[in-house]
Structure 1
């Protein structure tokens, strides 16, 4: 069995176990994601080792941490990106596919510094900037929706990916 096939089979089980734990440890899960755009209009995406597809970088907001602090920490950890300006809140989304209590704040980041591309590690297996018109195969539905909302200026959904899981 290939590693990607194994990940597809195990991923839902791991996600359910984590959210079962979080149900008792936390009343609600709250995460952040950064839609980081470079001067050429390209978007920074990451590919995790533990979940399929390409995603906006981000993660959970820890106890005692603000959403902005979590965003800055996650962008640095996942992309070696240092936020220099003030990120703009794009929206807060209900991610019902992950859990009935999961919410994600998405920030638009245009002012940042990335001195070098990070090396692949145990969490991030690949990352990079991609043209929004040519996103890599496997870019998740929710990620595509957030990018389209920002770039095309259309209506902003309140659901992360209302028509299909992400």
Structure 2
């Protein structure tokens, strides 16, 4: 049943929009997650739901996946918008850089999130996805941004 819904979703829906966050702590480490349903370590994020703003989706996804709360005074900086052809020909992802946040306690593994952590950019997990590595290089090392995720 799930595969039938996935096929329908890929071909019947209009453009989709997602958010991802490059969360950077005071030690210049980045927060990554590993989902239970896809391979590799990734930046936290997800889809923008109907009637939801991009800012609300970002805050929701960070809370759900990382128990990360955005500081009231801090505004995440939009870094770029990418075409994510790996998901569909209609998918776009807005990448935000988050430096002002709090994490009252580490998140607990769940059905969605198998593992999480803050990692130094020179010591990322071996299974970090190529898209995640590229976004980190763009933000942290000034690598030329690509249009595709």
State the TM-score bracket (shorter-chain normalisation).
over 0.9
Q: Is the 8 A contact 1:22 1:29 kept in 2?
A: no
Cα deviation, residue 23, structure 1: 3.3
Structure 1 outlier segments of 4+, above 4 Å = none
Cα-Cα RMSD: 1.5
**Distance in 1 of aligned mates of 2:32 and 2:5:** 26
1:59 corresponding residue in structure 2: 46
Q: Give 1:74-153 correspondences, 5 Å limit.
A: 74-84=61-71, 85-153=74-142
How many pairs are equivalent? Answer: 146
Higher relative CO (CA 8 A, sep ≥ 6), structure 1 or 2?
2
**Structure 2 residue aligned with 1:163:** none
Which has more helix, going by share of residues?
1
Q: Distance in 2 between matches of 1:70 and 1:99?
A: 20
Per the normalisation by structure 2, the TM-score is 0.93
TM-score normalised by structure 1 residue count: 0.84
Determine if the alignment matches structure 1 residue 31 to structure 2 residue 2.
no
Q: Which runs of 5+ in 2 are unaligned?
A: none
Whether 2:146 is the aligned partner of 1:157: answer yes
